[in-house]
Structure 1
Amino acid sequence: MKPWPHRLSAHGRGLVTFSTRTLIQATTEAAKLKTINDLPGPAFFTTLYWLFVKGYADKSHLLQGLQKNLYGPIWRSRFGPFDLVNVASPELIAQVIQQEGRYPVRAVLPHWKEYLDLRGQAYGLHVDKGLEWHRMRSVLNSKLLKLQEVRAYAPIIQQVVEDLLHRIEFLRIRSPDQTTVSDVAAELYKFGFEGISSILFETRLGCLQEDIPQDTLRFITAVNDMLTLSETVVVFPRWTRCVLPFWKRFVQAWDDLYGTARTLIDRRLTELQAQMERGELTGGLYLTYLLSCDKLSHSEIYTCVTELLLGGVDTTSNTLSWALYHLARDRRVQDRLYSEVNAVCASRRKPDTDDLRRMPYLKAVVKETLRLYPVVPGNGRFTAENEVIVDNYRFPKKTQFHLCHYVVSHDQTQFTHADVFMPERWLRTQVFQHHPYSFIPFGVGVRACVGKRVAEMEMYLALCRLMQHYEIQPGDDGAAIEAKTRTLLVPAKPISLRFLLRA
C-alpha cells in the first residue's frame, strides 16, 4: 500500500499529511463562518412601524436605503411568510449570482403554482424548476434574445408606435388647452400591452383605438387584477382561502387572463392548420414559431405566453413614462436627444433598426432612466440547489435572497450625483466606471429578462418618433412626482405632460 502524500512541517519537526492539513484548514475556515441567525435586521414590530406608521408600505424601495444604513450591506428581514436575506452592494450581489447554480430560481410563487394545479395547467417559467425550466427557457430564448431574430419584429412595433402617435394627438387635441395628456403612463401602458401582444399573439388587440374593444378591456383588467391580487394573496395563509375574498378574485383574474390568452393562441393555431391544409407556406413570427417547433406542448405554450405578457407590458410603459417625465423637466437633455434623432432621421423619417445603432444618446437616456427607476426595485434568488457563502456567512439550501437593485443603482460610490438624471454618464466619451453588478435592470445570467431585446426596441422606436413630432413640457403645475412600489416601481400619481408640435 502506498503511503499518503506528505511533506515536512514548517519547522521540520515531524510529518504532516497534506490531506489532513487541508482538512484542518477547511474545517477551521468553516468554523469562522456565521449563519443566517447571526445577521442583523429589524424586529417584526419595527418592520410594522416602518411600513404602516412611517409610510414605507408603498415605498419599500426607499426602505432598502434606510435598512442598509442601519444594518450594513447584508441583513435579514422577516414579515408574514417572508424570511429574506437582503443584499445591498454590487460585490455581494455578484457573490450570490455567481453561486446560483445551473438552474437558478428567482423566487418561490406558491400561489401561482396552486392556481395552475387547481386548473390542471402546465407550469411555466415562473413555477417550473430544474431541467424542465431550462428546456422551456431554451425554446423561448431562441427568437427573443438574438438581435438578428428580434429585428424581424421591428415592422409590427413600428405600426404600434404610429398608433401611439395618433393616440397622443387625439388626446392632446381634445384637452382643454389642446396640448396636455393628463395621464401619460396609462396611455403608454396601452402601448406596451399592444406591442407585446402583437408579437406574442400575432394579432392586434386595439388597445390604442379611440373605442377599445370590450374583450381587450377585460384582458387588460385581468392582467392588472392578477398582479395586484398576487401581492395580497401571497401574504395570507392557505386556511384563509374560504374566509377572505382575495383568493377567489385572484383565481377569477387568472381564469380571465389565461382564458383570453388561450383563445388568441388557439385562433392562430386554427389559421396555421388551415394554411397547411391548403398547401400554403405558414408565415409568421413568434407564436408561429412556438406552435410549429414541436418543443413545447400546447398547455406549456398557453402558460409561457401568458407569463411573457405579464412581464412585457410594465417594463416598456413604466420606463417610457419616467423617461418622458425627465425629458420634459430637462430641456438640455431633450434638445440633445432631438438633435441626435433629427441628425440620423431627418424630416421625420421613420427610424429602422440600423438607425438605432447610430443613436448612442437615445440608448443613454433609456439606460439612465432604468438606473433611476429599475422596473423591479428588488430581484430575488432562491438557493434551491446548494448552500451559498456570501461575505462571511454560510446560508443553507432554500434561502431566499433579496437583491436590492434600487439602493445599489443609487449608490454615490458607484454613480457620481446618483440622484441626478445624467444620460451623459453612459456615453463612451465619458470616464465612467462602476461595478458591473451595480446596474442590472434586466437581471443577469440565465435568469435575465427574456424579453429584454423586444422591450428595448419598443422604447427606442417610441422615443424617436415622439421626439420627432413633439416638444414635451411638464403639465399642470410641474410639481415633482415621486415613485411608489407596487411590486414594480411606478409613478405615485398621474404624469401630466404637454405635447407641443414641432415645426
Structure 2
Amino acid sequence: MFKEFTKLRTFDVKFISTNYAKRNSEAAGITKKSDYYKNLGDAEENIDGKPREWNDALPYESIPGPKPLPLIGNIFRFLPFIGEYYNLPIREMYESFKTKYGNVVSLTGVGRPPIIFLFDVQDMEKHLRGAGAFPIRRGLGSLTHYRTVTRRDVFKDVPGLMSVQGIEWFKIRSVVNPVLMQPKAAQQYIGSMDKVANELIENIRFFSKQNENSEMPEDFQNELYKWALESIGVIALNKHLGCLDLNASKDSEPQKLISSVNEMFLLMYKLDILPSIWKYIETPSWKRFVKVLDFITETLSKHIDEVFTKTISDDVPEDQLNILQKLTKQDRHIAFVMVMDMLTAGIDTTGKTMAAALYFLAKNPDKQQCLREEVYNNLPEKNSSVTKEILNNSPYLKAVIKETTRIAPIAVGNVRTTIKDSVLGGYKIPKGTELISMHIVTANSKHFKDHEKFMPERWLRTEDSDYSYKNVHPFAYQPFGFGPRSCIGKRFANLELEIGISKIIRNFELSWAHDDMVFSGNFLYGVERPLKIRVKEL
C-alpha cells in the first residue's frame, strides 16, 4: 500500500490533497461548494509568505496571559492549596482566561512550549480553515513515544493517526476514510448495536429492582463504559466481549480493560499536560503508563489476531464484513492499529456522552417527553428494533445528542499547529505555534441564546426562533473537530448514542433527585459525580 507514496512530487501532493479534500468535504464539515473552494484556497496559499496585516500586528510576545514567576513559571497556579486553578472546573478555568485576558491568551511556564488559546469564533475559523490539506495536530508525547520507541516492535511504522503528520498521516487517513467516514458504512451495524442496547436495557431493569427508589448504582457510569466497549467490539470485530454480563467478576478482562483505559487517560494528563520530566527520567507515572499500555495492547492484540486467523472468502459481501476485515483488504497493519484505537478510544468518549445525555434528559422532563413522543412513533413496542429508516426519521433524537455535546463536549477544544505565519486577534502568530480553539467556551456563551438551558429544539431545521442554530456562527460549536482531521469515529459514536438513547427512553422514564451534576475532567470532559438516575418502567 505505502509503495505508491514513497516518491511524491509537489504536483502529486497537490493533486492528492485536492482530490482528498473533494472526497471528504462532508467529513470536513463543508456543505457548500463555495466553502470548499475557500478552504482549498487557504490550504494552498504560499505558507512561506507573511500575511498582509503582519507589519501592523502586535508582537507575539505581547499576547496576554497568566504571568510566570522566575524559575517556577506558572506551575504554582496548578498546585494544591496555593494554585488558583487547582481543582477549578476546567470550563470555569478557561472562561476565566477569556474574561481576564481577552480573546487570545498565552499560557507559558508550565514545563512545555507556550500554548495559545483562541476564544473568538472569527479567529477560530481563520485558523482552522488555514490549517492546510494535511493539518498538524500534535499527538500526545507519551502515547507517541510508547508506540514509536517503547513498543516499536508492535506498531512498526504506523503508530496511529494521532502520532503522525503530513503525508504519513494522509497515507493512513486515505485508507480508513472510505470505511469509517461514510454514512452507509456505519449503518450496516445498526442491527448489532441494537442487540447490545437490549443488553443494557436488561441491566438497567435489573439495577432498578435492587433499590427501593429504582435508582441506578453509584458506578452506573461504568455500566455505560461497558455498553460502549461492547458496541465497538461488535462493530470492529463482530465479536461480543461479554462486557454487559451481570455474572462477570469485577476483575473480568473487559472490566480490567475499561479500568486500564480510564487510567491511561489519567496518566496522559499527568505526563503530557501537567509538568513532568518523564522524557528525561523514567518517572513512576511513566513506568505505570507503560504497564497499563502493555496490558491494553496485549489484550486487544489477542482479539484482533483471532479475527486475522479466520479465512474470509473473496465472495463474502462487503456489508457482512467487520471493520477489521474491511481495512485488512487495504492494509493489514493499518487495520490492526486503527481497530486498536477504535477499541481504546471508543470507551470513555461515547460512555461519557451517553451519561451526559441521560442526565440532561432526566433533569428536563419536558424535553424527555418530546423525545419520547418521537420514539413512540418509531418504536411501537418496547422490544421493537431500531432500523436505518427509524433513525433517519428521528430529528429530535439527533438534536438531543447535539445539544448534549454543545454543553458537555468530550474534547474541550481543537488543537492545531500553524503551518504559516498568521495574525489572529491582532497578534503575530509565528509558523509552528500550537493553538487551541476553545469551543467549550464559545458553545456555552452568548452565541447561543439561553446557553445554560438544555434546548434540543435549537438544532431542528424547522426551528425559526432566536434559538435556532442557523443564527449561530458555525465555529462556535465543533464537538468533533473540523476539516480533514475531524474525529474519525464520529459516525459510529453518533450511531451508538442514537440507538442506545432510543431504547432507554422507550423503556424507561428518567428522573433526577439530587443536586445538579458537576461536569469537569482532566483529559476528557464529563460527569464527575455518581450518575444515580431514577428509572420508572413504562
Q: TM-score, normalised by structure 1?
A: 0.87
2:209 maps to 173
Checking the alignment, whether the CA contact within 8 Å between 1:241 and 1:248 is kept in structure 2 is no
Identify the match of residue 146 of structure 1 among 174, 179, 182.
182
Answer yes or no: is 1:437 the counterpart of 2:475: yes
- Cα 1:51–1:366 change in 2 (3 A) is farther
Superposition deviation, residue 149 in structure 1: 1.4
Pairs within 5 Å for 1:82-97: 82-97=113-128
Superposition deviation, residue 324 in structure 1: 1.0
- Cα 1:28–1:131 change in 2 (3 A) is closer
Q: Whole-Å Cα distance in 2 between the matches of residues 468 and 239 of structure 1?
A: 51
Answer yes or no: is 1:403 the counterpart of 2:437: yes
- Cα 1:305–1:27 change in 2 (3 A) is closer
Pairs within 5 Å for 1:454-465: 454-465=492-503
Superposition deviation, residue 152 in structure 1: 0.7
1:427 maps to 460
SS of alignment partner, residue 381 of structure 1: strand
Deviations 1:26-57 (A, max 9, x none): 89843212332121111135663366433544
- Cα 1:399–1:169 change in 2 (3 A) is same
1:315 maps to 349
Deviations 1:33-91 (A, max 9, x none): 23321211111356633664335445222111111011111111122214111001211
Superposition deviation, residue 119 in structure 1: 1.6
> What's the Cα RMSD here?
2.2
Superposition deviation, residue 434 in structure 1: 0.1
Pairs within 5 Å for 1:165-244: 165-212=201-248, 214-234=252-272, 235-238=275-278, 241-242=281-282, 244=283
1:291 maps to 328
Q: Whole-Å Cα distance in 1 between the matches of residues 326 and 242 of structure 2?
A: 23
Answer yes or no: is 1:468 the counterpart of 2:506: yes
2:451 maps to 418
Identify the match of residue 150 of structure 2 among 105, 112, 118.
118
- Cα 1:209–1:96 change in 2 (3 A) is same
Answer yes or no: is 1:163 the counterpart of 2:199: yes
Q: Whole-Å Cα distance in 1 between the matches of residues 519 and 452 of structure 2?
A: 13
Q: Whole-Å Cα distance in 2 between the matches of residues 57 and 104 of structure 1?
A: 33
Larger radius of gyration: 1
What code does the residue aligned with 1:266 have?
D
What code does the residue aligned with 1:372 have?
I
1:258 maps to 297
Superposition deviation, residue 171 in structure 1: 1.6
Q: Whole-Å Cα distance in 2 between the matches of residues 27 and 409 of structure 1?
A: 29
Answer yes or no: is 1:37 the counterpart of 2:61: yes
Checking the alignment, whether the CA contact within 8 Å between 1:329 and 1:473 is kept in structure 2 is yes
Return 35-44 or 261-270, whichever deviates more. 35-44
2:103 maps to 73
2:285 maps to 246
- The percent of aligned pairs where both chains have the same amino acid is 27
What code does the residue aligned with 1:398 have?
G
- Cα 1:462–1:28 change in 2 (3 A) is closer
Checking the alignment, whether the CA contact within 8 Å between 2:214 and 2:536 is kept in structure 1 is no
What code does the residue aligned with 1:65 have?
E
- Cα 1:92–1:57 change in 2 (3 A) is farther
Q: Whole-Å Cα distance in 2 between the matches of residues 415 and 47 of structure 1?
A: 34
Deviations 1:255-303 (A, max 9, x none): 1111112111111010126x68xx988952211111222xx342x4333
Deviations 1:169-223 (A, max 9, x none): 1222223444544333221111111111221222111111113372222322221
Q: Whole-Å Cα distance in 2 between the matches of residues 320 and 245 of structure 1?
A: 33
Q: Whole-Å Cα distance in 1 between the matches of residues 51 and 477 of structure 2?
A: 36
2:370 maps to 336
1:270 maps to 309
Checking the alignment, whether the CA contact within 8 Å between 1:258 and 1:302 is kept in structure 2 is no
Superposition deviation, residue 354 in structure 1: 0.8
Task: Identify, as 1 or 2, the structure richer in strand.
Answer: 1
Return 364-373 or 49-58, whichever deviates more. 49-58
Superposition deviation, residue 365 in structure 1: 1.0
1:59 maps to 89
Checking the alignment, whether the CA contact within 8 Å between 1:181 and 1:499 is kept in structure 2 is no
- Cα 1:212–1:104 change in 2 (3 A) is farther
Checking the alignment, whether the CA contact within 8 Å between 1:36 and 1:76 is kept in structure 2 is no
Unaligned runs of 5+ in 1: 1-25
Superposition deviation, residue 240 in structure 1: 5.3
Pairs within 5 Å for 1:372-411: 372-383=407-418, 385-411=419-445
Q: Whole-Å Cα distance in 2 between the matches of residues 178 and 417 of structure 1?
A: 32
SS of alignment partner, residue 199 of structure 1: helix
1:491 maps to 527
1:7 maps to none
1:3 maps to none
SS of alignment partner, residue 406 of structure 2: helix
Deviations 1:99-123 (A, max 9, x none): 1111112224222221111221232
Unaligned runs of 5+ in 2: 1-49
What code does the residue aligned with 2:336 have?
Y
SS of alignment partner, residue 520 of structure 2: strand
- Cα 1:239–1:264 change in 2 (3 A) is closer
- Cα 1:160–1:58 change in 2 (3 A) is farther
Return 430-439 or 215-224, whichever deviates more. 215-224
